[in-house]
C-alpha cells in the first residue's frame, strides 16, 4: 500500500498532523519506537526502582503522546513563547492555530479551566521584575496534569487507531529519498513503507536520529542554539503568590556578567523533579512535572542558559550531551543535586547538609558539586538569575534552595525550512515539532503538525 502520508513520531506534532490529514480523508501511517500510552511505565516514577533501569526505549520520553505525556501537561495558549512558528506563518495565523489546538484538546477531555494572569498583583509583579531587568511573559495556560494527560492522549489513540494505521514499538532507520522527493521510510528490520508525503516529527528524544538524517541529506541548518541549565526546587511558599495568579511564571533575563539570555521553563507548583533517560546518548537528564491528584510541598522549575554558536562549531547536541554525561559520571549514573549555598561556598553538597535543609528533595539524586560539570559562565548566569528572581520570589536564592543537574533541551538542531515546514530541496518532506527546532512545547508542536498536514491537503484555516 502507498499511503498519502507517513508520520514518523506520535507526539503532539504527529498526532495533530494525523488528525488534520484524516479529517481530509487521507490514508495515514504513524510510526513510533515507543509504546502505547497504557504501556508506558517508568520503574522510577512508579517507585519500583530507585535509579534508572536503562530501559531499551525510555517510557518517559518515547511512545504515544511523546515526552509531553510524562511532563506537567501544560498547554501554553500564548504566541510569545513555546516555539518559533510565528516566523513561518505570522502571529495572527499562529493565534488561530493555537485556538484550534486548544479546542481539540478540550474535545478529547482536557479540563476547560484556564489560568489567565490579570489584576493588580500581576501588574505589580511585572513592574518589580522589570526593575531588575527581568521580562515577565504572562501566558494563558491550561493545566492538564501528568496523570490526566495520559487519559486525554489515550482518548486520541483510541480514536485514531480506528482511522489510520499505527505501528508502535517500531524503529524507523531511514527515509527513502529518490530524485529529490520523499518516497517513504525504512524500518530497522529493512521493511519499507511508501507514501506520497513524509512528515518527520521525532520530538526531542529523536533529535540525534534526526541529526543523522540531516547530515546524510546535507540539509540546510538555520541556527544552532544550545539550552543547558538546572532544575530549581523550593518550598511552595516561595512561589505560591505567583503560581496562584500566573500558574507558571515565564521570565527572560540577560545576565550582567556575560549578557547571556536565560529563561525559566516548566514551572510545577506542588510538583516533582524527575529523571529522564536518553538511550540514544546513554545519559540521564533532569525534568519536572506536577499531577492533578498527587501533590508535593515543593515547586520546581528550570533555569536554562541559551548560547548561540557559529561556524565552525556544528555539534550543539554533542556539546549538551557531553555536559550531561559529566553529571552522570559524578552522580554514579544518575543526576546531581546541590544546595545553592554549597555552590556559592565552593563546596560539594552532602546528604547530611541536604537533610538539615528546609527543602526535602522530591527526586532521587546524588549530592555533589555542579561546578565540576557546568561551565563557570553557565553557573554565574544561573546564580545571577536566581538573585534577580528573588524580587518576585522572595527566598528563591536561599542557601537551602536545591539545584538538580543537568537539564538540557535537545531540539538544538534547527532546520532551515519553508514557511509550510517543507524541507528545501526535498519535495514532500516535512519536519515538525521540537526535534526540528520549530517548537518548544506541546501546543506549538501540535500546531506545526497541522501546518505540515495542511500543506499536504491544500486546506486553509
Q: Which residue has the cell 502571529?
A: 91
Identify the CA nearest to 408 among candidates 447, 368, 373: 373
Residue 388, C-alpha cell as written in the block: 534577580
What's residue 437's pLDDT? 82
Indicate the DSSP class of residue 168: -
Indicate the DSSP class of residue 179: T
Report DSSP letters for 131-146, one per residue. HTTEEEE---EEE--H
Give the SS3 label for residue 174.
strand
Identify the CA nearest to 64 among candidates 103, 14, 107, 98: 14
Please give the Cα distance from 449 to 23 (Å, whole number).
Answer: 13
Please give the Cα distance from 327 to 406 (Å, whole number).
Answer: 7
Residue 367, C-alpha cell as written in the block: 549530592
Q: With a cut of 70, which residues of the chain have pLDDT below it? A: 44-47, 50-54, 59, 68-72, 146, 222-224, 410-413, 460-461
Q: Which residues of 356-371 are buried (b: 16+ CB within 10 A; e: fewer)?
A: ebebebbbbbbbbbbb
What's residue 409's pLDDT? 80
Please give the Cα distance from 336 to 324 (Å, whole number).
Answer: 10
What's residue 47's pLDDT? 67
Tell the burial category of 352 from Cβ atoms under 10 Å away from its Cβ (0-12, 13-18, 19+).
exposed
What's residue 452's pLDDT? 97
Identify the CA nearest to 88 among candidates 458, 460, 452: 452
> What is the set of domains in the chain, with CATH numbers?
2-73+78-113+144-220+415-457 (3.50.50.60), 225-409 (no CATH)
Q: Which residue has the cell 559529566?
A: 326
Our CA angle for 109, 171, 320, nearest 5°, is 85
Please list, in sequence order, all residues whose beta carbon lies within 8 angstroms of the beta carbon of residue 265, skipping any fewer than 6 positions away.
229, 301, 302, 303, 304
Helix, strand, coil: what percent of the chain each, to 5? 35, 25, 40
User: Dihedral sign, CA of 79, 251, 391, 357?
Assistant: positive
CB atoms within 10 A of CB 257: 11
Residue 224, C-alpha cell as written in the block: 544552532
Asked whether 300 and 71 are in contact (CB, 8 A), the reply is no
Phi, psi of 293, deg, nearest 5: -105, -30
Amino acid at each position: 500500500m502507498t499511503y498519502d502520508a507517513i508520520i514518523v513520531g506520535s507526539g503532539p506534532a504527529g498526532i495533530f498532523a494525523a488528525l488534520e490529514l484524516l479529517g481530509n480523508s487521507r490514508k495515514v501511517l504513524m510510526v513510533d519506537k515507543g509504546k502505547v500510552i497504557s504501556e508506558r511505565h517508568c520503574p522510577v516514577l512508579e517507585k519500583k526502582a530507585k535509579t534508572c533501569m536503562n530501559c531499551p526505549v525510555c517510557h518517559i520520553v518515547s511512545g504515544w503522546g511523546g515526552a509531553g505525556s510524562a511532563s506537567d501537561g501544560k498547554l501554553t495558549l500564548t504566541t510569545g513563547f513555546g516555539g518559533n512558528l510565528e516566523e513561518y506563518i505570522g502571529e495572527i495565523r499562529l493565534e488561530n492555530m493555537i485556538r484550534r489546538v486548544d479546542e481539540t484538546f478540550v474535545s478529547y477531555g482536557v479540563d476547560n479551566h484556564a489560568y489567565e494572569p490579570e489584576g493588580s498583583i500581576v501588574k505589580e509583579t511585572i513592574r518589580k521584575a522589570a526593575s531588575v531587568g527581568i521580562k515577565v511573559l504572562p501566558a494563558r495556560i491550561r493545566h492538564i496534569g501528568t496523570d490526566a494527560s495520559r487519559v486525554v492522549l489515550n482518548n486520541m489513540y483510541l480514536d485514531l487507531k480506528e482511522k489510520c494505521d499505527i505501528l508502535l514499538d517500531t524503529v524507523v532507520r531511514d527515509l527513502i529519498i529518490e530524485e529529490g522527493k520523499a518516497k517513504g521510510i525504512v524500518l530497522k528490520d529493512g521493511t519499507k513503507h511508501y507514501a506520497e508525503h513524509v512528515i518527520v516529527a521525532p520530538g526531542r528524544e529523536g533529535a540525534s536520529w534526526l541529526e543523522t538524517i540531516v547530515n546524510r541529506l546535507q540539509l540546510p541548518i538555520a541556527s544552532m542554539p544550545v539550552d543547558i541549565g538546572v532544575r530549581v526546587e523550593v518550598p511552595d511558599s516561595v512561589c505560591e503568590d505567583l503560581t496562584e495568579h500566573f500558574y507558571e511564571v515565564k521570565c527572560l533575563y540577560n545576565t550582567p556578567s556575560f549578557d547571556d539570555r536565560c529563561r525559566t521553563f516548566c514551572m510545577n507548583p506542588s510538583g516533582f523533579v524527575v529523571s529522564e533517560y536518553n538511550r540514544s546518548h546513554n545519559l540521564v537528564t533532569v525534568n519536572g512535572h506536577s499531577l492533578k491528584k498527587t501533590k508535593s510541598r515543593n515547586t520546581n522549575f528550570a533555569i536554562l542558559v541559551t548560547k548561540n554558536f557559529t561556524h565552525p562549531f556544528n555539534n550543539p547536541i554533542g556539546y549538551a550531551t557531553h555536559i550531561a554525561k559529566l553529571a552522570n559520571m559524578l552522580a554514579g549514573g544518575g543526576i546531581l543535586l546541590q544546595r545553592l549555598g554549597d555552590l556559592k561556598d565552593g563546596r560539594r553538597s552532602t546528604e547530611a547538609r541536604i537533610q538539615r535543609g528546609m527543602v526535602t528533595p522530591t527526586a532521587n539524586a546524588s549530592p555533589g558539586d555542579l561546578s565540576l560539570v557546568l561551565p563557570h559562565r553557565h553557573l554565574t548566569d544561573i546564580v545571577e538569575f536566581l538573585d534577580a528572581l528573588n524580587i518576585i520570589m522572595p527566598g528563591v536564592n536561599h542557601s537551602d534552595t536545591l539545584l538538580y543537574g543537568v537539564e538540557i533541551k535537545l531540539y538544538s538542531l534547527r532546520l532551515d525550512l519553508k514557511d509550510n515546514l517543507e524541507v528545501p530541496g526535498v519535495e514532500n518532506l516535512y519536519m515538525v515539532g521540537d526535534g526540528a527546532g520549530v517548537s518548544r512545547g506541546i501546543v506549538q508542536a501540535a500546531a506545526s503538525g497541522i501546518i505540515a498536514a495542511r500543506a499536504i491537503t491544500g486546506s486553509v484555516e
